[in-house]
Homo-oligomer: A and B are copies of this chain.
Amino acid sequence: MNFQQLRIIRETIRQKFNLTEAAAALYTSQSGVSKHIKDLEDELGVQLFVRKGKRLLGLTEPGQALSSIVDRMLIDADNIKRLSADFTSTNEGELIIATTHTQARYVLPPIVARFKQAFPKVHLILQQASPVEIAELVSHGEADIGIATESLTGYPQLVSFPYYRWEHSLIVPQGHQLSQQKTITLSDLANWPLITYHGGFTGRSKIDETFRQAKLTPDVVMSALDADVIKTYVELGMGVGIVASIAFDPERDRRLQQIETSLFGENVTLLAVRRNHVLRGFAYKFIELCNSELDIKVVREAALSEVA
């Protein structure tokens, strides 16, 4: 058994059992691919692929059982290389953060600034996406770190960590009737047209849930992907905004007024990395800049779960 054989097994599966394409993907000859598979099967004494004559059609039962282990071994081989690179490295490279508007616009700027100062040679890419897309991006290795409030749990390939906690607050035009009220109840709100986030974004699920439990039907006249859009329409008087507290900036948003409220409970923004994968050192530093409790040891060990 050698690594080339394992790579060939993995690639053959990825290329839907077409040895010619597997060979092309690995920049090698297809005769070699064929022979390697045969050799490995002989060594293990098991057929890994279902064959019909000379064509490969799929995985046998042992093939399936081995496939996931093969994957992990190749991931580990990569991990070893990445770890080593990190020790030699001059802190150069690329870091891809997949995140939502809310984070990119209101939370990350100071962190990015500090990161850039510490690692000027790292090419930092902020990839804006929806929470579901973020989970997918990180799962497939197209992003190193994902940050979002929704959707990051429930993916077995991801390991997530609490980043920070926050609440929603209300945004109204200056002098709005609600800003005079001492206390605001959910039923009060249900009487106003509301503008808030789209489903699946920035804690919208929590808002819906809160109304649902109170057996109220909110009048959401408009939903947007980000607080900037929401605030624009609140300024136009189209309704009362519900946004993340952090999205209000008294300096810029002078024509608006923020009303703190705990009506919708607490949200937790999560930070996710790919399970079983090692990141470059500066990636862990970025996470630590986000939340100092998440140091390299905590994050890496959790991601590698129990290597023993």
Contacts and interface: CB of A to CB of B under 8 A. Distances in A.
A302 to B, nearest CB: 12
Given A70-B80, A76-B69, A305 B305 contact: yes
Contacts of A275: 306, 308
A80 B306 CA distance: 19
Contacts of A304: 68-69
Interface residues of A, number: 37
Interface in A39-89: 44-46, 61-62, 65-66, 68-73, 75-77, 79-81, 83-85, 87-88
A77 B73 contact: yes
A1 interface: yes
A180 interface: no
A2 interface: yes
Contacts of A70: 80
Contacts of A164: none
A305 B306 contact: yes
A269 interface: no
Interface string A69-112: 11111011101110111011000000000000000000000000
A304 B66 CA distance: 12
B44 A62 contact: no
A169 interface: no
B44 A84 contact: yes
A46 B306 contact: no
Interface pairs A-B: 8 shortest CB-CB: A44-B84, A62-B87, A68-B307, A45-B88, A46-B84, A73-B76, A157-B308, A46-B87
29 contacts: A1-B3, A1-B80, A1-B81, A2-B3, A44-B80, A44-B81, A45-B85, A46-B87, A46-B88, A61-B87, A65-B83, A65-B87, A66-B83, A66-B84, A68-B307, A68-B308, A69-B79, A69-B80, A69-B278, A69-B304, A70-B80, A71-B308, A72-B307, A73-B73, A73-B80, A75-B308, A156-B308, A157-B308, A305-B306
